[in-house]
Amino acid sequence: MRYAVALLVLLAEALLQVSVVSRITLLGVTPQLVLLSVISWSLIRGPAEGMFWGFVGGLLFDLVSGSPLGVSAFAMVLVAAICGLSGRTLFGSNVLFPLSMVFLATGVYVLLCGFVLATLHDPTNWAAVLRQVLLPTATANAVLGLAVYPLAAFVNNHTHGQLRISF
C-alpha cells in the first residue's frame, strides 16, 4: 500500500510536471519535480531506494511526457546512484550540501539526457544546452530544492523507514 502511494506521488508529480509546472518558469526554465524528488530521496535514503524510485520516476516521466521510453529512467538511475552514494558518505557535513548536490545532479541529468537524445537523434549544440538549459535548470532546481528537500526529510522522519528498500 505504501509503495502504491509512493508510486502515485511520483505519477502525480510527472503529470503535474507536464501539465502544470511546465507552464511555470523560474529563471527562464521549468523546475523538474520528479528529478528533485528522486535526488532528495536518494540523498536521504541512500542509493538503493534512490535508484529504484529513480527508475520508476524516470519511466513514469517518459510515459507522460512522450520522451523516448527509458531515457529519463536511465539518467535518473545514474543521478540517484551518485546522490545516494555521496549522501551516505557526506550527509550532514554541511547544510549547503544537499542544495549543491541538487545543482550538480541536475547538471549531470541534463548532460545524460542530452547525450542519449543526441545518440538517438540529431547532434546537440552543447554550448546552447549548457548556457540555456543546464545552468538555469540546475539553479532553478537548487532554489526549489530549498522546499522539496526538507519535505522529503519530513516524509522520511514520519514514515520511520517503512518505505525501506534494500539490496
d(CA 87, CA 30): 25
Q: What angle do CA 150, 152, 155 make, to 5 degrees?
A: 110
CB 130 within 8 A of CB 114: no
Whether residue 73 contacts residue 32, with contact meaning beta carbons closer than 8 Å, is answered with no
Per CB under 8 A, does 55 bind other proteins?
yes
Among 77, 110, 129, 148, interactor with other proteins by CB under 8 A: 77
Distances (CA, A) of 52 to 1, 21, 58, 131, 164: 17, 24, 10, 31, 11
Q: Which is nearer to other proteins, 79 or 142 (CB)?
A: 79
For other proteins, which residue of 9, 27, 85, 111 counts as binding (CB under 8 A)?
Answer: 85
CA 85 from chain centre, in angstroms, equals: 15
The one among 7, 48, 144, 153 contacting other proteins by CB under 8 A: 48
Decide if residue 18 touches other proteins (CB under 8 A). yes
Distance CA 41, CA 98 (A): 11
- In whole angstroms, what is the distance from residue 14 CA to residue 61 CA? 5
Q: Does 47 bind other proteins (CB under 8 A)?
A: yes
| 74 sits near other proteins (criterion: CB under 8 A) | yes
6, 36, 43, 64: which one contacts other proteins (CB under 8 A)? 64
Mask of contacts with other proteins, 136-165, x by CB under 8 A? Answer: ------------------------------
Q: Which amino acid is at 69?
A: L
Where does this chain bind other proteins (CB under 8 A)?
Answer: 15-16, 18-20, 23, 46-48, 51-52, 54-55, 58-59, 63-64, 68-71, 73-74, 77-78, 81, 84-85, 88, 116, 120, 167
